[in-house]
A and B are shown apart, each in its own frame.
Chain A
Amino acid sequence: MAGMTPDERLSMLLSCYLDGELTKDELAEVVDVLEHDVAAIAEFRRLKEARNALRTLPTPRMPMYLLPAGHLGSELSAYLDGELATGELPRISGHLDVCAECRDELADLDRSRTAVRSLPGLEPPDFLALARDAREARTRARWPAVAAAVTGLAAVAIAFTVGIGIGDRGTVAVDVAELEARHGAVVSGTSVTGIRTSSP
């Protein structure tokens, strides 16, 4: 900010303040000025109102010859499918903000996809349906035999398990840390005299 007059410097600082671009020292300086300098407060309000006015202006449609080279094309499809990399999104969104042609193309693409999704399901041709029915009929005919085989195997497995289980066999899963905690608890409650020094 060398070479600026004090007023120009203040105006620049306030502008940077609105943009959140001040350093820690500059921020302290601006806060101090805004607390004591009426002229600085007035300048700050003027800058703020000017920015608000700029934001409410209608967005001008940029002439095609001023657009960056090329349109989004196939990237619009990826954009709709949510398949773009996060780093790509700002570029695509920025282009859509200024390019009415791409916005229109995006809207068309979205409408066509919606239309495809709303189409009724297609039935297969008759000759394919006949083949499918025949295949299902064969499967149904085999099912009783398969079911009987599975049932037989299950019966054998159950008999085997029960047979092995006679006696004291069984399977449980425990963690030795739990057993150690139980032992520690019992130890804490024992006394060589049989008299407990504390109660749970």
Chain B
Amino acid sequence: MTRSRVRVLAAVAAATTLVASAAPALADEVVDVVERVNASTYAANRLVVSVWGDETQVVRERVEHASGQEMVRTDETWSMKGGGRVVTMSDAPSGIAFMMTPTAIDTGRYEVGETTQVTHMRRDCTLIPILEDGQVRAHMIVDDRTGAPLITYIYDGDGSVFRTVSLSDFSPYRMYEWPDAYEDVPVEIVMHDEAKIVPTEAAGYELVEVFPGPGGSEQGFYSDGLFSFSLFAFKGDASVAGFEDPMAFVTESGIYDIVPTAKDVRVTWADGHRRYVLVGDLPPDHLGDVLAELPQQDSAGMFVRWWRRLFG
């Protein structure tokens, strides 16, 4: 039994019925929460809703989670993720696997607040607030039996809900809906690389891994223990498809082209020497802070974005 399970079970035993409070937890309990969620076993329908400015992004998917692996199925495709490998089955099946070095990620930015015993979907759960600088960054309702995150609320810097992730049609076990054919899909292996371009830290996100990216780019993977992003740095002005109809994201350091999805945000800019693409699940205020500490976009690109913002 893991240390986190011991802690959670002890908390459950001490709880009376619906509400039981605990003293503010240590920062390393964030590690316990995250690891327990990653190790949980369940099958469910997952609804993810994210709000970026005036736009709301929604995705519904069938998910089966077990042993650190996750099968995600939508109407069009399905993918299998786990252990640094993703296999996607669609019209053109593809697979990629990253050889990663074991690296502990510093979660010191966050701490677990006072937990509360609640009932959700007639299941005994624990409501876990995750705090950043004393303010709530996330609320998680975690199933006591399986460790599954039945509902997760992520908050923006101003306290508004930025993203909700909720499970329905929940089963506390595997449904074994994983297709057999995915084992036959050829997988591209990507080895670890040394950082040459990407910075080692950005606004509380540390550089965890570096890999060679597509088109001769460099991929830096950053995490703060709860959220993460990858920064791709291309030599020259690479052409990146998928930014044909971007949103303007205004920060103190400039205006950026972004394309938000329900689960991620995509950002691109150029600094005159390189094209950068950022992909990650970080909330808007974190994104603004991160962009301010990454290489800045060139003034020409900035002018174009200002012009678009002023005159459409």
Contact = CB atoms under 8 A, between A and B. Distances in A.
Do most interface residues of chain B lie in helix, strand or loop, or is the interface mixed? strand
A181 B72 CA distance: 13
A181 B86 contact: yes
Contacts of B237: 169, 171
Nearest to A195: B102
Scoring A170, A183, A193 by chain B CB atoms within 10 A of each residue's CB, the highest score goes to A183
Interface stretch (B43-51, B124-132, B165-173, B210-218): B210-218
Contacts of B86: 181, 184-185, 188
A175 B70 contact: no
Contact of B274 (A168, A178, A186): A168
B38 interface: yes
B103 A170 contact: no
Contacts of A190: 84, 100, 103, 105, 208-209, 221, 223, 228
Given A168-B273, A179-B230, A193 B31 contact: yes
Contact of A196 (B81, B83, B94, B243): B83
B239 interface: yes
A173 B214 CA distance: 9
Nearest to B242: A176
Given A168-B273, A176-B259, A176-B279, A184 B105 contact: no
B85 A170 contact: no
Interface in B34-74: 34-35, 38-39, 67-70
Contacts of B219: 179, 182-183, 186
Contact of B211 (A175, A186, A193): A186
Contacts of A169: 235-237, 273
B22 to A, nearest CB: 21
Interface in A26-67: none
B1 interface: no
Contacts, number: 173
A54 B177 CA distance: 62
Given A188-B84, A192-B104, A198-B69, A170 B241 contact: no
Given A190-B100, A200-B84, A174 B105 contact: no
A169 B277 CA distance: 16
Contacts of A174: 214-215, 217, 234, 238-241
B216 A170 contact: yes
A200 B238 contact: no
A173 B239 contact: yes
A184 B70 CA distance: 11
A199 to B, nearest CB: 5
Contact of A180 (B30, B274, B279): B279
Interface of A: 167-200
24 contacts: A168-B236, A169-B235, A172-B217, A172-B234, A173-B240, A175-B242, A176-B241, A176-B268, A177-B242, A179-B213, A179-B240, A182-B96, A183-B229, A185-B86, A188-B69, A188-B82, A190-B228, A191-B38, A191-B102, A192-B31, A196-B83, A197-B38, A197-B39, A199-B83
